[in-house]
Amino acid sequence: MKILVTGGAGFIGSHVVDKLIQQQCRVVVVDNLSSGLREHVNTAAKLIEMDIGSPELLALFEQEKFDYVIHQAAQTTVAQSIDRPDRDCQVNIAGSVNLLEACRKTAVRRIVFASTAAAYGNAADIPIPESAPKQPTSFYGLSKWTVEQYLALYRQIFGLEYIVLRCANVYGERQGNSGEGGVISIFSKKLHERRPVTIFGDGGQSRDFIYVGDVAAANCLALTAKTCNAAFNISTGTETSLNTLVKLLEQAAGIKLKKYFAQPREGDIYRSSLDNTAAGKYLSWQPQMPLSQGLGRTYQALKQPGLNQREGREW
């Protein structure tokens, strides 16, 4: 089968591409390389440098005739969505609708969409079930949730099949560690450089950290799962506070981190953990990587840049 992975040069997308190639799929990547890297794209995949919002996207779909689409391309950070809601909307909403148009006009069989824990906002029940109210506290959470609703309506009106994967905080090799990176990649880099970290808030805020290889596996399973037109949480189901994360990172690296505390970040949620029962039942998916081990791998990959490359990974 022929699969398009949007954002396939990015952090999560490039791991998805690797897994699909391992499974002998034919893979095309569409990525504008705004944050993704050409060298992260598996050489067995075809890379097209294009924006998902491009008017040329439809012609590509007509030419390639994709069976499935895995949609990872996005503006992925909460903070940037607060700085530039317009850009977040343009990439995450308008770009996704452009992609959906190409999907329905060329009879794509199914689209798998990367959504987020940020769609829930501050939920009352932890771990959060899929049915919890969607009350995003950032434009990023809002834009992802909006696309979920587009998917539901595209299904209803045009018959396009979909699966939404609401991912918790994904970490692992190849994650960016600049301002756009996640807390684990940022703290790992600081640790490696023996520089202090800044904790926004009291460090008591929790996240559900899920390893990128586990997320890639969930995407592959979602392509052919019998149950579709539904959303599934992809997570470990456990909460880890930032203060605990710092301790685990110190253990993984054998180094002490110096910490500064600053004001909480605008749009941040306080507690986050997602109930993953439904993914176990309907996708036959379970997280495999324990956090302490995943942190060790992430840190080692940073120390040995070669391990960040596709060829160096063992996962």
Taking the C-alpha atoms of residue 64 and residue 58, their distance in angstroms, rounded to an integer, is 10
Choose, from 140, 154, 162, 211, the residue flagged as catalytic: 140
> Toward ligand UD1, which CB reaches closer, 28 or 242?
242
Among 4, 78, 111, 228, binds ligand UD1 (CB under 6 A): 78
73 binds ligand UD1, rule: CB under 6 A: no
Residue with tokens 């007509």: 62
Indicate the residue among 25 and 112 with the shorter CB distance to ligand UD1.
112
# residues near ligand UD1 by CB under 6 A? 21
Q: How many CB atoms lie within 10 A of CB 11?
A: 26
Spatial contact of 233 and 274, defined as CB atoms under 8 Å apart: yes
- Tell me whether residue 254 is exposed, middle or buried, using C-beta atoms within 10 angstroms of its C-beta: 0 to 12, 13 to 18, 19 or more: exposed
**Measured distance CA(314)–CA(181) in Å, rounded:** 22
Site map for ligand UD1, 181-220, x if CB under 6 A? Answer: xxx--x-----------xxx----x-x-------------
Q: Is 140 a catalytic residue?
A: yes
Residue 77 contacts ligand UD1 per CB under 6 A: yes
- The 258-277 contact track toward ligand UD1, x by CB under 6 A, reads -------x--x---x-----
- Which lies closer to ligand UD1 via its Cβ, residue 42 or residue 205? 205
Helices 212-224/11-22 angle, 10° precision:
60
Strands, E, within the chain: which ranges? Answer: 2-6, 26-31, 46-49, 68-71, 110-116, 161-167, 169-171, 197-200, 206-207, 209-211, 230-234, 240-241, 259-262
Minimum gap (Å) between residue 180 Cβ and ligand UD1:
6
Contact mark string toward ligand UD1, 110..149, x via CB under 6 A: ------xxx-------------------------------
Task: Indicate which residues carry an active-site annotation.
Answer: 140
